[in-house]
Amino acid sequence: MLSSDDQPSQPAQQSHPSAARARSGDDFDPAEFIEGAKMFFSRFHEARDAGKLEQLKDFIAPELYEELQQGGESGEPARTEVMLVDARLGDRQSADGRTVVSVFFDATLRKGVSGETPYNYRGVWEFSKPMDSPDSLWTLEKMERVDH
């Protein structure tokens, strides 16, 4: 999830400069990563609403998972419908043996028992993975809401 298939990098064609920018010398594919992040955004809301966040436990850092479990809403379950989600890459840094990538989300959601309350969500989510394990999963480390 959120990572390239383990296919070897294709050399960028000179006639297509965007292909050279899409690959940064390693197996990180920005377009593929963004598509995976958008899918995860939707899956996260579905699992949280269904009370089944444990289905995504492997994709969420343990500290954040515990925080999300403790901050679970009580009362009548609400449904979040992701109407539109736009995502773009922010910073990508490597330090302390991990690669961290920030993703800025700008989404239109509907929430409520029947999805009757529309609202806009803007936030930055940070995903990371160990640098020495290219086959490892990206995990959600941090979620921060951003004001308009």
Position 141 in a domain: yes
Domain count along the chain: 1
Residue 53 confidence (pLDDT)? 92
CATH number at 135 reads 3.10.450.240
Residue 72 confidence (pLDDT)? 62
Position 4 in a domain: no
pLDDT in tens, 6-61: 443 333 333 333 332 333 346 789 999 999 999 999 999 999 988 899 999 999 99
Helix (H) or strand (E) holding 99: strand 98-112
pLDDT for 82 beyond 60:
yes
Provide the residue range defining the domain that includes 124.
17-145
* d(C-alpha 24, C-alpha 64), whole Å: 29
| Least confident interval from 18-22, 48-52, 87-91, 105-109 | 18-22
Position 11 in a domain: no
Position 42 in a domain: yes
Position 5 in a domain: no
Alpha helix stretches (DSSP H) within 15-95: 17-22, 30-49, 62-70
